[in-house]
């Protein structure tokens, strides 16, 4: 069902970053991996952002603590199939035990291991199974395992999500490769998704953190499937430094490539959104404030009536206008609202455009990739978010997830 | 599909209020009424609240103007099948023309007629058809036509919605009868719904308006299906005064009966919610502020993941906790959150209750009427909202509405 999403190709190894994927038994099907280990060479920089959900899962709590500890991260341990969320102190102990198991084999301090989990909430994590599988995982660590890792972190995803880019900085190649997962419960501020992006550039900690924040705002914080956010979920940016190429805040080509990797990984999540049959871009232009632009974009993107109309390929502009009319905006002049589907103007100055007819609207709505564009003619603030339609399959997937 | 909703019975006539329902041709099926006329005896008081959607429909604009005019309302004209919304100045002219047609026959000023429309957005209103049907409507005006009127205002509703109550005030009977419609696009602040409630009590204008506001806050502003609101839609409270019984703000028995009529009419809309298979009460207790209580109630009630779990009868408390965790609350102490399904405690102090098991949760979730109760243990503010689950049929109804 993924909308315009294909198997990743040409994933580039990132020198200094090794990965392994395997099956430890959290998922029942032995042919499906449920454990991923990432090893960073000493001297790597790491920055991460986590869910803003106040009920954050045990691994999020532990990973945050470890990131703020004395030891630079050397290992990331990710399991899929169990979120280790809603598990209280026992859950934190289990997350810590998994880290310790990695630390023992890797011969690092436990704080150098960051744990991540995704899957069902409220069930105890099978730490023994993880510990048992780890020696083999270490044996399989390899720089060319990005695709296997992308598959190993999947839950309801139908396709692995991974992107690579290479840029030349003063004649020297720098590589960026990333993977992501998560197809439902996607909302701004890090929602049921995991993403791991690595580069071999040399990036100072402070810059790494600001590059991550900016890239996330443009990508993972601009996608939404259903407005729900998750208790887990994180985005990690790693720089091994192995290329020897130092990046500063003026390396626009690198920053653009980095943002592109983030955006494609985020859009891949939407294209694989639960039950998605459309990939929808909502663009708000000339809002009076950034807050108004965002509020309007998400009011439209979350409207079940707009989303079911998108599923039906029905150019029901009445539902979009109704969403605009109820959006919590500080400034709205309904007589200056323009509404476009792709390049077709439906509403001009708040009223149906004289040249518009249903035929033209339906031609746009039948496309797989749809752009809804609203021009408020009030100010200088614009925003873009990406979302999906709301289909029978969304209900099917989410009503049957645990049964 | 309506959840625990039945054909209304024992509707009581309200002296001084006559109604007629008929077919004028807006809807294609000749056997389905699409026009309702309500006549109020001279001396009646009328108060109304309208949609807060900034794209309000032409009839809303006209009805507001007429209410603020020099003439007390004597007629309400309601058509179903066409919302006369997104129709600009031509739409307002059409709404005015319909009022004039009623005024001509009823021999009143045009301002004494309030117009209401519900149905498809963006199509011109067939005023000629309405005008042609009016003489016969006048002929059929009768105090006993409440049920016909309830049917005449239906759109995607599967059942008419109507409630009557009679209370004795100092030995004298006073009657309250009301009708409502609307099964999707239901959200607080008057969303795609129409409601007309009449009493033969004598109520001063100012009191009538405050009784209406309070009753709406407890009823129509406390229901939500999908978070969408509509461009039309109104709630009107009429007092004919024919019983001769004067109501003041201390007539608790009357006020309670009035609030009950409003609440049952509002709940009927939810029970007939588009694709509803469950009637869900979300109760928030001991929030730090009223704003927090409401924000939390609606975050849970609008969560597609919570709603699909309800549809699946899956006691997925992880999704409810995740909704609590992302709700925009000023105060939340996750270690003091209690969560109940009916009388079953799922979460105590932020963690799964030791006595809880899935069997107990599923027994509650299989019921048709479900209560989700969250105690925040922070303050003295409580709220209740009513909503539905999210089912295949919601998608079906909304994806196929216009085709």
Q: What is the pLDDT of residues A206-255, one digit of tens each?
A: 999 999 999 999 998 888 766 556 788 899 999 999 999 999 999 999 99
Residues A24 and A109 placed together within one structural domain of the fold: yes
Q: Residues B290-307: pLDDT tens digits? A: 999 999 999 999 888 898
Residues A242 and A289 placed together within one structural domain of the fold: no
Cβ burial B135-147 (10 Å sphere, 16+ → b, else e): eebbeebebebbb
Strands (E), A288-380: 338-341, 344-348, 351-352, 369-375
Please name the member of B122, B350, B392 whose beta carbon is closest to the beta carbon of A392: B392
For residue A256, pLDDT beyond 60: yes
Determine, for residues B308 and A395 on separate chains, whether the beta-carbon distance falls below 8 Å: yes
Residues B312 and B290 placed together within one structural domain of the fold: yes
Please name the member of B53, B304, B322 whose beta carbon is closest to the beta carbon of A230: B322
Query: Comparing B67-76, B252-261, B391-400, which segment has the lowest mean pLDDT?
Result: B391-400
How far is A263 from A156, CA to CA, in rounded Å?
20
Please name the member of B54, B191, B401 whose beta carbon is closest to the beta carbon of A332: B54
Determine, for residues A319 and B122 on separate chains, whether the beta-carbon distance falls below 8 Å: no
For residue B65, pLDDT beyond 50: yes
Residue A133 and residue A98 in contact, taking contact as beta carbons nearer than 8 Å: no
CA A46 distance to own-chain centroid = 18
CA nearest neighbour of B49 among B146, B116, B142:
B116
Interface test with A, best of B89, B231, B277, B305 (most A CBs within 10 A): B305
Note whether residue A12 is domain-resident: no
Q: Which residues make beta-bridge pairs with A383? A: A284
The overall average pLDDT reported for chain A is: 91
- Residue A386, domain CATH: 3.10.20.340
Residues B231 and B90 placed together within one structural domain of the fold: yes
Name the DSSP class of A80. Answer: E
**More confident position, B339 or A186:** B339
Note whether residue B390 is domain-resident: yes
Q: Count A/B contacts: CB-CB distance under 8 Å.
A: 185
Note whether residue A396 is domain-resident: yes
Residues A31 and A112 placed together within one structural domain of the fold: yes
Note whether residue A320 is domain-resident: yes
Residue A400 confidence class, pLDDT cut points 50, 70, 90: low
Residues B123 and B187 placed together within one structural domain of the fold: yes
Q: What is the CA radius of gyration of chain B?
A: 22
When pLDDT is averaged across residues A116-136 and rounded to a whole number, the result is: 94
For residue B189, pLDDT beyond 60: no
Q: Residues A321-350: pLDDT tens digits? A: 889 998 999 999 999 999 999 999 999 999
Q: Residues A281-304: pLDDT tens digits? A: 999 999 999 999 999 999 999 888
Note whether residue B2 is domain-resident: no
Determine, for residues B228 and A319 on separate chains, whether the beta-carbon distance falls below 8 Å: yes
Which residues in chain B are closer than 8 Å to A395, comparing Cβ atoms?
308, 311, 390-392, 394-395
**Based on the structure, what is the number of domains in chain A?**
2
Residue A401 confidence class, pLDDT cut points 50, 70, 90: low
The overall average pLDDT reported for chain B is: 91
Residues B116 and B206 placed together within one structural domain of the fold: yes
Q: How many CB atoms lie within 10 A of CB A253?
A: 11
Determine, for residues B398 and A309 on separate chains, whether the beta-carbon distance falls below 8 Å: yes
C-alpha distance from B262 to closest chain A C-alpha (Å): 23
How far is A65 from A49, CA to CA, in rounded Å?
13
Q: What is the pLDDT of residue A186?
A: 46
First to last CA, chain B: 21
Which residues in chain A are closer than 8 Å to B311, comparing Cβ atoms?
395, 399
CA B187 distance to own-chain centroid = 9
Q: Residues B9-33: pLDDT tens digits? A: 889 999 999 999 999 999 999 999 9
B271, B304, B328: which is the final residue of a domain? B271
Residues A287 and A266 placed together within one structural domain of the fold: no
Q: What is the pLDDT of residue B225?
A: 66
Note whether residue A103 is domain-resident: yes
Residues B231 and B122 placed together within one structural domain of the fold: yes
Burial bucket for residue B335 (CB in 10 Å: 0-12, 13-18, 19+): exposed
Q: Which residues make beta-bridge pairs with A126? A: none
For residue A113, pLDDT beyond 60: yes
Determine, for residues A398 and B351 on separate chains, whether the beta-carbon distance falls below 8 Å: no
- Residue B150, domain CATH: 3.60.70.12
CA A377 distance to own-chain centroid = 31
Question: Which residue range forms the structural domain that includes residue B333?
Answer: 279-399
When pLDDT is averaged across residues A151-156 and rounded to a whole number, the result is: 92
Residues with Cβ within 8 Å of residue B12, at least 6 apart in sequence: B164, B166, B175, B177
Q: Residues B142-176: pLDDT tens digits? A: 999 999 999 999 988 889 999 999 999 989 999 99
Please name the member of A53, A305, A323 whose beta carbon is closest to the beta carbon of B398: A305
Strands A172-181, A194-199: parallel, antiparallel or unpaired by DSSP? Answer: antiparallel
Residues B122 and B162 placed together within one structural domain of the fold: yes
In percent, the amount of chain B with pLDDT more than 70 equals 95
C-alpha distance from B91 to closest chain A C-alpha (Å): 11
- The ipTM assigned to this model is 0.75
Whole-number Cα distances in Å, A161 to A179, A194, A265, A388, B201: 6, 11, 6, 17, 67
Q: What is the pLDDT of residue B329?
A: 94
How far is B290 from B335, CA to CA, in rounded Å?
21
CA nearest neighbour of B170 among B253, B257, B256:
B253
Q: What is the pLDDT of residue B403?
A: 38
How far is A229 from A221, CA to CA, in rounded Å?
11
Note whether residue A4 is domain-resident: no
Residue A319 confidence class, pLDDT cut points 50, 70, 90: confident
**More confident position, A311 or B199:** B199
Residues A120 and A199 placed together within one structural domain of the fold: yes
What pTM did the predictor assign? 0.82
Residues B88 and B221 placed together within one structural domain of the fold: yes
C-alpha distance from A51 to closest chain B C-alpha (Å): 9
Query: Comparing B34-43, B103-112, B216-225, which segment has the lowest mean pLDDT?
Result: B216-225
Q: What is the pLDDT of residue A187?
A: 45
A236, A271, A306: which is the final residue of a domain? A271
B224, B254, B271: which is the final residue of a domain? B271
Note whether residue B389 is domain-resident: yes
Determine, for residues A395 and B324 on separate chains, whether the beta-carbon distance falls below 8 Å: no
CA nearest neighbour of A222 among A193, A249, A251:
A193
Phi then psi for A16, rounded to 5 degrees?
100, -5
Question: Catalytic residues of A, which ones?
Answer: 192
């Amino acid at each position: 069902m993924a909308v315009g999403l294909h198997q990743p190709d040409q994933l580039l190894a990132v020198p200094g970053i090794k990965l392994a994927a395997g099956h430890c038994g959290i998922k029942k099907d032995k042919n499906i991996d449920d454990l991923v280990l990432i090893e960073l060479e000493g001297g790597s920089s790491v920055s991460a952002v986590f869910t803003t959900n106040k009920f954050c899962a045990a691994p999020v709590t532990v990973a945050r603590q470890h990131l703020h500890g004395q030891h630079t991260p050397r290992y990331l341990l990710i399991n899929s199939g169990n979120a280790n969320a809603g598990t209280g102190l026992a859950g934190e102990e289990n997350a810590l035990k998994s880290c310790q198991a990695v630390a023992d084999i890797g011969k690092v301090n436990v704080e150098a291991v960051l744990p991540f989990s995704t899957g069902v909430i409220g069930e105890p994590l099978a730490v023994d199974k993880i510990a048992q599988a780890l020696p083999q995982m270490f044996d399989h660590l390899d720089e060319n395992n990005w695709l296997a890792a992308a598959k190993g972190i999947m839950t309801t995803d139908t396709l692995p999500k991974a992107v690579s880019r290479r840029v030349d900085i003063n004649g020297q190649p720098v590589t960026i490769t990333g993977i992501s997962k998560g197809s439902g419960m996607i909302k701004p501020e890090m929602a049921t998704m995991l993403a791991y992006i690595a580069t071999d550039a040399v990036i100072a900690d402070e810059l790494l953190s600001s590059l991550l924040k900016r890239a996330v705002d443009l990508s993972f914080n601009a996608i939404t499937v259903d407005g729900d956010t998750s208790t887990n979920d994180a985005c990690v940016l790693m720089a091994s430094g192995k290329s020897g190429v130092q990046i500063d805040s003026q390396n626009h080509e690198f920053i653009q490539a980095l943002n592109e990797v983030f955006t494609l990984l985020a859009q891949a999540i939407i294209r694989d959104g639960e039950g998605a049959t459309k990939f929808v871009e909502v663009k708000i232009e000339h809002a009076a404030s950034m807050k108004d632009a965002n509020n309007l974009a998400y009011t439209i993107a979350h409207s079940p009536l707009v989303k079911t109309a998108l599923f039906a390929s029905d150019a029901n502009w009445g539902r979009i206008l109704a969403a605009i009319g109820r959006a919590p905006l500080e400034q709205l002049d309904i007589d200056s609202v323009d509404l476009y589907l792709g390049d077709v103007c439906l509403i001009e100055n708040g009223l149906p455009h004289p040249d518009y007819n249903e035929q033209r609207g339906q031609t746009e709505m039948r496309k797989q990739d749809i752009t809804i564009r609203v021009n408020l003619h009030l100010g200088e603030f614009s925003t873009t978010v990406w979302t999906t339609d709301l289909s029978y399959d969304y209900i099917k997937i989410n009503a049957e997830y645990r049964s």
